[in-house]
Structure 1
């Protein structure tokens, strides 16, 4: 019997999900905080963690990173709202098996749980899946690359075919979810190195203190915990291509090592003194502005120019709506095969919704929504009722169940961190004040309604001057 750890601080919600999973043959342990969940691992082994993103003492993302570092064989499913779509995609890149959205559909939850428990655990730093133009990890369904028929898509494909046979370093720019990794894989597949390895690294998922070791390897005894010699990703990629996603996350020290590797075509393991020759093509990707980072001193300008011998830009889905049908048909076919369904297409009303929506999560969001819709569809075509309300009702995207403000899914650009934080604080203050007034300042009842403990409520009341 598979053992699941459910981490959810809404006790009513947690009890419902726990009962449902237990009726379907799983053993379920519940926790309400990140630290509590971590403590359970000292006495128990879990096959799967299902964690809400927003928790009282942290986030599901923090629990994901901790579990992947300490218990890599445990799968993780993240629960989010659709307003968390960018966070959910980042979680996938860090090794989460999947994300599901509130309100949770029981059939979707059960299908995702069963799929996660039967899948091979993916390494978050090595994504080698060949195929679909998404940012999905290698546990995702693999399919043919969709080029698209828009002018932008044809131009991108032309540039891929142009640069692929060369040995130029390529910098792929674009938003999260636009398929930067699979563009890179396509370059590799059309290069003279296609028979060599393709090693993909998410630099954002590398622990800062171990990034040098992961990339370049180390010798036994180089540091505490280095119990044996380790072959780094660059050495593993010899004769092929290495893809460095989120390159802007590398520390300045590792940037120096990377620059040296590019210039001299040699690497030196951490703690070693032997130079190792390498023959590796580098493709890097980022959604950051590295020019600004270099001006701020966070990214070496000489490294930027070494990586940027040729630039490709992954196109946001909202800017290539002409290709929407190509991608939707591809993901429909995948979902039918994955879920053993025979849905033939989408209703005209669904197409209107798809074309009007901005797709902030890009291809990954489209794929996930179609998979969910196929699961919920009993007829021959996907109807509006099978879609999340966030896609066609902006007003549905209001305060989350934990009293956290959620921005509209139609919003193309997020506010600056400073503006977003100030909006968050103001809305949280207003919500607490309203609930306090509704309950005639009954703090116990207020805490229950807001799904927070009394200590947290008192702290926030003091912070906002609501005593």
Structure 2
């Protein structure tokens, strides 16, 4: 029997979910706080953590990072409100298996739990697997690797031409774009069309690297270099030798590590932490960010000389709201993926669903589209995805994500919980107050405000306009 730790401070909600999971053959332990959940691990082993994002003494994100550092084989599913979509996407980049939005649909929960428990987790202590790319086919819109979709829009065509232009060179490339726009896919495509295609492609999320270990992870260390360095470690740059290293969220590296990175680029050598031997490296660097690195340089958070070294060529990933002509290409691809993953045979989308898709702004970009289609395929019993299989927020802006199917929306005594509209209005007011406070604390420095709130400047400006905070 698989052991699940459910971390939820709404006791009624927790009891309902616990009962449901136990009826389906799982052993479930509950906690209401981050620290309480951590303490449970001293006496028991858990195969899966299901954690609400908002907890009394912290967040599900903190619990996720702690569990991945200490218990890497334990899967994590995050529970969020739909307004937390950007946070949920970041959580998946940090190692969460999946996120589920409230109110939880029982079918979706059970399928996600079963899928997470059957998946293999990666051990952070093991070396990442470098994969050699097949020779790409220029006649196909989709690359065999990762099912890359080029798209049909003029912007997609321009992006693809730039990829084809820079790929055969050895220029360092900076890929800019919002979260979820496929920056890693673009970087892999550059690698696949380069002369390094038979070498390793090593992808590193700099935002997920522990600050004190980032230098060791990137450049390696020698035994005894610091407490806990029990043996020599090969860094990601050495692993990527002869190939490409992809540094996602490059703006999250500390200033000290930026200096080490700049030296590695200039000298084409690295030195392991605690060592005195220089090692020659032949690595192409592709970096990505959704931050304005020049603004960070102006604020003293990012080295301007490193920015110019990384930015020998710039590519911009296109947000989905600006490439609606490509929506069908991506939706068909994600439908095919979801059918394969879930063992379904859904053929397409109803006209009503297409109308909703085309009218929606897609703040989570391609990641959001993929997740919504996967969920819709799971909930679809007919041949086509219908409106009822979509989150209500796609077509009812004031609603909380839900479904016309049975959902956990009342307590065990049958008493109704607060309405979705009440939750939405509370969230809007809280968000407005938070933005006001941070703006005041930073003296209306929008760059700092956006960084503190973990959103891009464009999103901040949009919310400021929405709430009348200009």
- The answer, yes or no, to whether TM exceeds 0.5 is yes
Q: Does 1:79 align with 2:79?
A: yes
Q: Does 1:419 align with 2:436?
A: yes
CA positional deviation for 1:271: 0.4
Correspondence list, 1:190-201, <5 A: 190-201=193-204
CA positional deviation for 1:143: 4.4
* Correspondent of 1:184 among 184, 187, 192: 187
CA positional deviation for 1:339: 1.1
- Partner of residue 112, structure 2: 112
Q: Distance in 1 between matches of 2:294 and 2:321?
A: 25
CA positional deviation for 1:106: 0.9
C-alpha deviations, 1:25-64, integer Å up to 9, x for none? 1111100000000000111111110000011111000000
Large movers: runs of 4+ above 6 Å: 127-131, 414-417
- Partner of residue 360, structure 1: 363
C-alpha deviations, 1:333-373, integer Å up to 9, x for none? 11111111111111111111100100000001001111111
Question: Is the 2:163–2:189 contact (alpha carbons within 8 Å) kept by the matching residues of 1?
Answer: yes
User: Could you say what secondary structure the match of 1:371 adopts?
Assistant: helix
Question: If the length of structure 1 is used for normalisation, what is the TM-score?
Answer: 0.84
Correspondence list, 1:248-397, <5 A: 248-397=251-400
Q: Distance in 2 between matches of 1:40 and 1:289?
A: 41
Q: Does 1:243 align with 2:260?
A: no
Question: Is the 2:7–2:33 contact (alpha carbons within 8 Å) kept by the matching residues of 1?
Answer: yes
Higher relative contact order (CA 8 A, sep 6+): 2
Question: Is the 1:399–1:406 contact (alpha carbons within 8 Å) kept by the matching residues of 2?
Answer: no
CA positional deviation for 1:419: 2.9
The structure-2 alpha-carbon separation of the partners of 1:50 and 1:420, relative to structure 1 and needing over 3 Å to count, comes to farther
CA positional deviation for 1:399: 6.1
- Partner of residue 3, structure 1: 3
Correspondence list, 1:6-85, <5 A: 6-85=6-85
- Partner of residue 405, structure 1: 427
- Partner of residue 428, structure 1: none
User: Could you say what secondary structure the match of 2:334 adopts?
Assistant: helix
Q: Distance in 1 between matches of 2:150 and 2:208?
A: 28
- Partner of residue 221, structure 2: 218
User: Could you say what secondary structure the match of 1:284 adopts?
Assistant: strand
- Partner of residue 458, structure 2: none
C-alpha deviations, 1:132-190, integer Å up to 9, x for none? xxxxxxxxxx8411110000111111111111111000000000000001110111111
Question: Is the 2:332–2:348 contact (alpha carbons within 8 Å) kept by the matching residues of 1?
Answer: yes
Q: Distance in 2 between matches of 1:156 and 1:3?
A: 46
C-alpha deviations, 1:221-245, integer Å up to 9, x for none? 1011111111000011111100000
Question: Is the 1:244–1:285 contact (alpha carbons within 8 Å) kept by the matching residues of 2?
Answer: yes
The structure-2 alpha-carbon separation of the partners of 1:237 and 1:143, relative to structure 1 and needing over 3 Å to count, comes to closer
CA positional deviation for 1:72: 0.8
Question: Is the 1:213–1:269 contact (alpha carbons within 8 Å) kept by the matching residues of 2?
Answer: yes
Q: Distance in 2 between matches of 1:416 and 1:172?
A: 33
User: Could you say what secondary structure the match of 2:286 adopts?
Assistant: strand
Q: Distance in 2 between matches of 1:122 and 1:381?
A: 35
Question: Is the 2:220–2:273 contact (alpha carbons within 8 Å) kept by the matching residues of 1?
Answer: yes
Q: Distance in 1 between matches of 2:425 and 2:359?
A: 28
User: Structure 1 stretches of 5 or more lacking a match?
Assistant: 132-141, 409-413, 424-467
The structure-2 alpha-carbon separation of the partners of 1:12 and 1:253, relative to structure 1 and needing over 3 Å to count, comes to same
Question: Is the 1:126–1:201 contact (alpha carbons within 8 Å) kept by the matching residues of 2?
Answer: no
Question: Is the 2:146–2:185 contact (alpha carbons within 8 Å) kept by the matching residues of 1?
Answer: no
CA positional deviation for 1:210: 0.5
User: Could you say what secondary structure the match of 1:396 adopts?
Assistant: coil
Question: Is the 1:83–1:407 contact (alpha carbons within 8 Å) kept by the matching residues of 2?
Answer: no
Cα RMSD (Å): 2.4
Q: Does 1:208 align with 2:230?
A: no
User: Could you say what secondary structure the match of 2:294 adopts?
Assistant: helix
- Partner of residue 446, structure 1: none
Question: Is the 1:126–1:202 contact (alpha carbons within 8 Å) kept by the matching residues of 2?
Answer: no
* Correspondent of 1:156 among 154, 159, 164: 159
The structure-2 alpha-carbon separation of the partners of 1:45 and 1:405, relative to structure 1 and needing over 3 Å to count, comes to same
Q: Distance in 2 between matches of 1:107 and 1:167?
A: 48
Q: Distance in 2 between matches of 1:128 and 1:177?
A: 23
